[in-house]
């Protein structure tokens, strides 16, 4: 597909599929908040179709609507007609970007710096991570926060500063060897994607993932200089950049050389499994993209597929609840496996979270660009977490982890927020 065509050049059957039944409406967080048809999946699809039919020009109102959508894909789970909202959503945002209706010097500068520069080469992102880590480790951040100087900033900047994640003392390349041999008999050879922001903020989860994989008979290949998967770009209308990154990923991890390509981030996995959609028109990459899509596995999915080694039965008692990342449950339909993994840990009591599959408001960079709606969703999530009485929340996506950590901290809640894989790695270590 050419970069100058989006909604108009989509296969019309995708746009036509919506039969306006409205069954998706109660599952849509933005419609639930406003009860305005335009803010629902059905309303958004009608707008997209009007543009594809040339009945409407992309306008500021259209673009704002596409960015008010969380992209949580709850509507896809609810839809009986199988509407591919994920595909529509990405093309609609690309259409909005291409039309330029949102352009402003400030926005263009931010997008150029982040999407077109910082996240196109992870060495740059790591450098930014080193600088931020130094700022935090030297205590400058604490000093700045205590000094009251931040009160001079506008409210929105103060809120953003409070959301700054804690940078890990070591990144994945310091913690994980490029090749980690399987413990015992080697049954599989897998690649592990370290992620972009995940590597700076949750490199410990990457280390735990490798540990769990090698204990389950996998040799793990984790090269040092990896690239971003491109989900951030695809979800923010940068279709061509997403294609460039997909090609780089395939070059770095030729899918015919691995039994599986593992991701531990729900949001990335949902995008990584659709490279063929991105590269279907590329004669060089088309076939390998197809194979790539088959080889990409979420960590929970892969472990359940190969049969998980049970940890020994000497674990401490813990009560855990599970929040479902939207792109893990709605995007990838991985619902049972994380729960099965948690239940495999002896003495872990899993308490179901009410509305576990309702978005927490993180949604990529949604909590940065749509703070009001994101905050409402975070508070709703925290209220449900509190109702379970669990002291640990497990979730399989870095964005959700951060969103819940920040909301719990704001509320002064004593809550441990972890990736399920960390709990499993700890359980294995407990048995050593
Ligand atoms: S992706 Fe989420 S927010 Fe957007 S229309 Fe679907 S359910 Fe609503
Ligand atoms: S459930 Fe599916 S078919 Fe029905 S209105 Fe929503 S998107 Fe359209």
By alpha-carbon position, which residue is closest to atom 7 of ligand 1? 28
**23 CB under 6 A from ligand 2?**
yes
Q: Is the pLDDT of residue 322 over 50?
A: yes
CA 163, CA 152: separation in Å to the nearest integer?
17
Judged by average pLDDT, the poorest of 139-148, 269-278, 420-429 is 139-148
Whose tokens are 């926060």? That residue is 145
Q: Is the pLDDT of residue 1 over 60?
A: no
Q: Is the pLDDT of residue 191 over 90?
A: yes
Query: From the CA of 326, which ligand is nearest?
Result: 1
Q: Are strands 260-263 and 218-221 parallel, antiparallel or unpaired?
A: unpaired
**What's the distance, CA 217 to chain centroid?**
27
**361 CB under 6 A from ligand 1?**
no
Report pLDDT for 86. Answer: 93
What value does the mean pLDDT take over residues 41-69?
A: 94
Report pLDDT for 255. Answer: 97
* Angle between helix 41-52 and helix 60-68 axes, rounded to 10 deg: 140
Report pLDDT for 137. Answer: 82
User: Under a CB-based contact definition with an 8 Å cutoff, are residues 275 and 293 in contact?
Assistant: yes
By alpha-carbon position, which residue is closest to atom 2 of ligand 2? 79
Report pLDDT for 69. Answer: 96
Report pLDDT for 5. Answer: 64
Across the beta sheet with 392-394, the strand order is: 348-351, 318-322, 392-394, 416-418
DSSP 3-state percent helix, strand, coil across the chain (nearest 5): 55, 10, 35
Judged by average pLDDT, the poorest of 58-62, 234-238, 284-288, 354-358 is 234-238
**30 CB under 6 A from ligand 1?**
yes
Q: Is the pLDDT of residue 75 over 90?
A: yes
Give pLDDT tens digits for 357-413. 999 998 888 888 888 999 999 999 999 999 999 999 999 999 999 999 999 998 999
CA 323, CA 401: separation in Å to the nearest integer?
9
Which is more confident, 159 or 102? 102
Cα(80) to centroid(ligand 2), Å: 7
Report pLDDT for 70. Answer: 96
Query: From the CA of 31, which ligand is nearest?
Result: 1
CA 205, CA 203: separation in Å to the nearest integer?
5
What value does the mean pLDDT take over residues 167-177?
A: 90
Report pLDDT for 267. Answer: 92
**What's the distance, CA 29 to chain centroid?**
18
Q: What is the pLDDT confidence band of residue 236, given thresholds at 50, 70 and 90?
A: confident
Q: Is the pLDDT of residue 418 over 60?
A: yes
Cα(300) to centroid(ligand 2), Å: 29
Report pLDDT for 2. Answer: 42
**Arithmetic mean of pLDDT over the chain:** 92
**74 CB under 6 A from ligand 1?**
yes
Vertex 394, ends 329 and 178: CA angle to 5°? 85
Give pLDDT tens digits for 85-134. 999 999 999 999 999 999 999 899 989 999 999 889 888 988 888 888 88
185-209 as b/e, with b when 16 or more CB fall inside 10 Å?
Answer: eeebebbbbbbbbbbbbbbbbbbbb
Query: From the CA of 83, which ligand is nearest?
Result: 2
**331 CB under 6 A from ligand 1?**
no
């Amino acid at each position: 597909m050419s970069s100058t065509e989006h909604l108009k050049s989509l296969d019309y059957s995708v746009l036509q599929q919506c039969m306006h039944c409205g069954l998706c409406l109660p599952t849509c967080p933005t419609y639930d908040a406003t009860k305005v048809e335009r803010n629902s999946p059905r309303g958004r699809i009608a707008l997209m179709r009007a543009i594809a039919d040339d009945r409407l020009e992309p306008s500021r109102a259209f673009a704002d609507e596409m960015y008010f959508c969380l992209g949580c894909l709850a509507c896809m789970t609810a839809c009986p007609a199988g509407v591919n909202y994920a595909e529509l959503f990405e093309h609609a945002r690309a259409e909005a970007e291409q039309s330029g209706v949102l352009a402003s010097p400030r926005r263009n500068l931010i997008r150029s710096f982040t999407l077109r520069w910082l996240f196109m080469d992870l060495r740059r992102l790591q450098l930014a991570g080193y600088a931020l880590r130094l700022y935090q480790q030297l205590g400058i951040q604490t000093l700045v926060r205590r000094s009251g100087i931040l009160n001079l900033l506008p409210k929105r900047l103060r809120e953003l500063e409070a959301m700054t994640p804690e940078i890990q003392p070591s990144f994945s390349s310091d913690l994980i060897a490029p090749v980690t041999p399987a413990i015992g008999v080697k049954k599989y050879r897998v690649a592990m994607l370290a992620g972009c922001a995940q590597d700076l903020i949750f490199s410990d989860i990457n280390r735990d993932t490798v540990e769990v994989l090698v204990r389950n008979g996998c040799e793990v290949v984790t090269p040092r200089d990896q690239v971003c998967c491109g989900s951030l770009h695809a979800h923010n209308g940068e279709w061509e950049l997403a294609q460039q990154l997909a090609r780089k990923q395939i070059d770095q991890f030729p899918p015919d050389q691995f039994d599986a390509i593992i991701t531990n981030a729900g949001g990335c996995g949902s995008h990584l499994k659709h490279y063929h959609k991105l590269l279907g028109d590329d004669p060089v990459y088309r076939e390998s993209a197809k194979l790539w899509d088959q080889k990409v596995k979420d960590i929970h999915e892969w472990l359940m597929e190969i049969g998980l080694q049970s940890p020994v039965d000497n674990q401490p008692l813990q009560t855990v609840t599970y929040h479902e990342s939207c792109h893990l449950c709605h995007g990838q339909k991985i619902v049972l496996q994380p729960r099965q993994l948690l239940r495999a840990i002896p003495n872990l009591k899993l308490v179901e979270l009410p509305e576990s599959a309702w978005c927490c408001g993180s949604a990529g960079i949604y909590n940065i660009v749509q703070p009001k709606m994101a905050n409402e969703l975070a508070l709703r999530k925290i209220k449900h977490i509190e109702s379970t009485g669990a002291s640990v929340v497990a979730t399989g996506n870095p964005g959700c982890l951060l969103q819940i950590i920040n909301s719990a901290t704001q509320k002064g809640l004593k809550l441990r927020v972890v990736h399920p894989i960390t709990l499993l790695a700890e359980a294995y270590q407990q048995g050593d």
